[in-house]
Chains A and B, each alone.
Chain A
Amino acid sequence: MISWPNLVSQLFNGLALGALLALISSGLTIIYGTLGVLNLAHGAMFMIGGYAGFVAYQYTESFVLAVIAGSLFVMLLGVLMERVIIRHFYHRPHEDQLLVTFGLGICFVELVRLIFSSQSQLVPPPAMFRGITNLGFMFYPTYRLAVVGIVAIALGALFIILYRTRLGMIVRAGIEDSVMVDSLGINVYRVFMVVFGIGAMAAGFAGIVNAPVVSLTPGIGDDILVQTFVVVVIGGVGSFPGAILGGLIAGEIISVTSMFNPGYAYVMLFAVMTLVLVVRPHGLLGVQGRE
């Protein structure tokens, strides 16, 4: 039943999914860490990224342009969302923030459903990554390999923004204590806007990069959102390294369990999350004291 090539190929699938989850989760986690808002519309951002890229791809026929256009569109949407709605919720209870982002997520999904219908849309992979690659011991779809590389580059870019720039320093300081950052004379609210844009963009970018692997449907973000939650709980809320570690763990669990029985993928994922909650309630790389 279990053959080695099969296992290795599932491990690769897990790596691709894990990298993707890591990217989406980093977006969610830096938004939460900095703004204190859990964005339940994050799955919708992922979905909109896919559709925006899909539209751009049809017009330009260039995958690179599609990725850029899709990500920028979602970033703008994130900034708009923060400016118009989210910023009125910073001083309201967590429940209200959850409710409003949840409602916005539904609006986005239904709007896309209205425009593109519920039918799935196919996004072909870019020409240079089509076909399969012979890895010597097995054959593997070229684009999936490329996904790992593309996402790794995106994560690297995010790392550089967070750890090597002035903005990143402010964001990381804001995660520790946003009131203190504010009182140091930095306009925290403008930083909030930028962070929300970047976080949304991470999800949107993942959405368009992932589009050729699966087909696009308006509900594609829902499952991803749930998986992202598990990633964040495992890795620790507000922790960028935690999101990456959690993403890779979750990706491998889903893929490897699916090899035996896809029905148990979530059960396993959940079992690991429970284990982490029992052993390390703040997540593998989370900091104590943040709630």
Chain B
Amino acid sequence: MEIKGARGEGSGGSPYFFPVVAFIMAAPIFAVDTLTPLDTAIAVLYVAVIMPSAHFLGRRGVLAVSGGCIALTTISFLIVHRHDWDSSALVRLGVSLSAISITSILTLRNQQVTSALRDQANLLNLTHDAIFVRDMADRIIYWNQGAEQLYGWSPAEAVGQTAAGLLRTRFPDTPASIQAALLADRQWSGELVHFKRDGTQVIALSRWSVQMDKAGRPVAVMETNNDITERKHSEAMLQKAQAELAHAMRVATMGELTASIAHEVNQPLAAVITNGEAGLRWLGREVPDLGEARASVERMISSGKRANNVIARLRALARRDDPDHMPVNLNEIVEDALMLVQREADSHSVSVGLDLKASLPDISGDRVQLQQVVINLLMNAIQAMAGVSGWARELSIATREAREPSGTDIVTVEVRDTGIGIDEQSANQLFTAFYSTKKEGLGMGLSICRSIIEAHGGRISFETNADHGVSFTVGLPALKDPVP
């Protein structure tokens, strides 16, 4: 990397350092040139004073040193040859002055290139991004001010260390596979966890690019890191808030469903108790009827399992864990949701039609959240039909497979009601938070449904039916490989 050698001004320490060195070097040359009668161009040696000057001095300084050397050479010549203007001496003078001039010009040009590189390197210091360059052995060879600000180590401390060791990097994948991706694409980006000098953790959005030499071999990696700790933190907070809200709404829905749920649990419990009584009677007969008693016990077991099933589903709905994406089947979700609202439909004299597509592909999602969406749509549909008289109250639920225009395979569930429908004005705001057509409605249900579905990469939409009511459709991307 070219920027490797770039250094700031005045890196020689004391401002008197170079003038002293220059004097120590130039003085013997001047002495020999002036005092010894050698027939050689001793003054050529002044180039040894000019060349290092570029490292310590600016353009004017180099010019001044060159001028000084030319002056010293000329003075020596005048002192030694003040009586005889020997032609060979004049040639030697010419050679010396040429050498000094050419060296000065080359030095100045070199200094210009170096200073351009230094300016480029300083540009990297202007950015607030933390930028460092590391060789293929992960050793840091450049470290900008942004990196110093973010991580706390100065360039002098960082250069020479291995990046992963210094920053205690946690990679999102194995370092080997990241390295492979980096070399294949010449770049890589991802989220890394780093630790600052003071030990605090940084989540960095990291972009890497590889520098190749002329032969196409990777020589170094430039790594640009943005601190996204705050952003990640806000995102996590937002997600948590959304999950809590969804949970609160689930609990509220369960509250609305209390009577239905109590019934769903009470019914199998009643069956267990009555079967138990019946079983005892069968055993207590003069001639115990073991076959009937056994049948009673078997029915107790199956009713017990049914009650347990309801409770397991309720417990799942009431949990407040973080969303967990797993392969799930929309048909099962619809059946589970329907089980909880069936009674609600019955008590509002709503007939339920179920049309589930056989061997529907799985989707990836959180079972509880998706169930929440379906329950919400079913409850809305039932409530929309509560005031209807004059036509049949029908709730139709259908699952389907479909292909989007984009070519994505999706799975859909349609919830269709014959309710009072939605007027045009409400239609536009249906998915907006705090908008409700219901007197006691919070207006969060459909808004949460939409955020859940969108978080699953899906879409929720509705249309007004030709006859009565509306149809809501949820489409979710199908999992490509069916899980065995």
Q: Do A and B bind each other?
A: no
B residues at A contact (CB < 8 Å): none
